[in-house]
Amino acid sequence: MLGLIRPLRLRARVLLATLTMATSVAVAAYPDRPIRIVVPFAPGGGTDLIARTLGAGMSQALGQQVLVDNKPGAGTMIGTDAVAKSPADGYTLVMASFAHAVNPTLQPKLPFDTNKAFTPVILVGRGPNVLVVRPESPYKTVADVIVAAKANPGKLTFASQGNGTSAHLAGEMFKNFAKVDITHVPYRGAGPAMTDLLGGQVDLFFGTAAAVSTFVDSGKLRALGVTTPKPSPALKGVPAIADTIPGFQVESWYGIYAPAGTPPDVVAKLNAAARTAAQSPEFKTKVEHEGLVISAGSPAELDAYVRGEQARWGKVVKENNLKAD
């Protein structure tokens, strides 16, 4: 009997060693095919711009293509859910933003558990939103908007790139703090929202700096105020909305997540590649003039920041009884 057990134990050890070696080789070989970053918005907005610019740098660092896959809809839930249900192998990522931290409170039925379905990779950066109007708009200041909104309750409209996004919550906070009634019009991304703003279908947009700064620089949009407590150095001459509405503050952010269970070695490779890309002159030239403050730290930095945002905005949503449209 003992003579039979010993060969079995030997085979088990050999099998375990083989499996361990195979896993090590697989991780060492990562990535051996293209990587996909899901952007849960339509093309043309700030998140799309950040993902494409960062992906180009990550492609160089990893030696594989990093492709952007736009999956808009349902306040980012469609694209984010697709990543939550993807294999935890490092080949499908999501470029998360403000809605990722707000949806757990704002959306009554999320198809995933935000804090359990994802592995943090990197906090790319943070920046302001900007209240913009068309250049021919009669509103030249934040105070002009408030006066008009009070004179015509519900008539003014503000666009957002979807329910639960920074543009949506900035508008809701504006309504609450200024005690005005303006109507929210959600879109499937900043690109479609700006198209309708430029076309005159909506009046206002609290867009991310990454999404609107090019239009402001070219004179196609007029910036009335930024959502950070102080003016942004990247948007010279644009006051803080807080100068007119004390206490007003909203911040956009961009971070990469992988599905939960992604191997730590793979996460480390993705973090290193994203960090290299975010700190490159090409990336900085593209985004820093738009107000983005680059973070590019550890996965733990993203996790801590987003959990803090969840707590802060969860309180705002509940206290103001905010609902997804």
Bond into 31 cis (ω within 30): yes
Domains in the chain, please, with CATH? 34-126+252-319 (3.40.190.150), 128-243 (3.40.190.10)
Predicted pLDDT of residue 319: 77
Digits of tens for pLDDT over the chain (325 positions)?
Answer: 445 445 545 555 545 545 444 444 445 699 999 999 999 999 988 899 999 999 999 999 999 999 999 999 888 999 999 999 999 999 999 999 999 999 998 887 899 999 999 999 999 999 899 999 999 999 999 999 999 999 999 999 999 988 888 899 999 989 989 999 999 999 988 889 999 999 999 999 999 888 898 899 999 999 999 999 888 888 889 999 999 999 999 988 999 999 999 999 999 999 999 999 999 999 988 887 667 889 999 999 999 999 999 998 888 888 777 766 6
Give the amino acid at 50. I
User: pTM for this structure?
Assistant: 0.82
Query: Is the CA virtual torsion 217, 215, 147, 136 positive or negative?
Result: positive
d(CA 38, CA 100): 13
Q: HEC states along the chain?
A: CHHHHHHHHHHHHHHHHHHHHHHHHHHHHCCCCCEEEEECCCCCCHHHHHHHHHHHHHHHHHCCCEEEEECCCHHHHHHHHHHHCCCCCCCEEEEEEHHHHHHHHHCCCCCCCCCCCEEEEEEEEEEEEEEEECCCCCCCCHHHHHHHHHHCCCCCEEEECCCCCHHHHHHHHHHHHHCCCCEEEECCCHHHHHHHHHHCCCCEEEEEHHHHHHHHHCCCCEEEEECCCCCCCCCCCCCEHHHCCCCCCCEEEEEEEEECCCCHHHHHHHHHHHHHHHCCHHHHHHHHHHCCEECCCCHHHHHHHHHHHHHHHHHHHHHCCCCCC
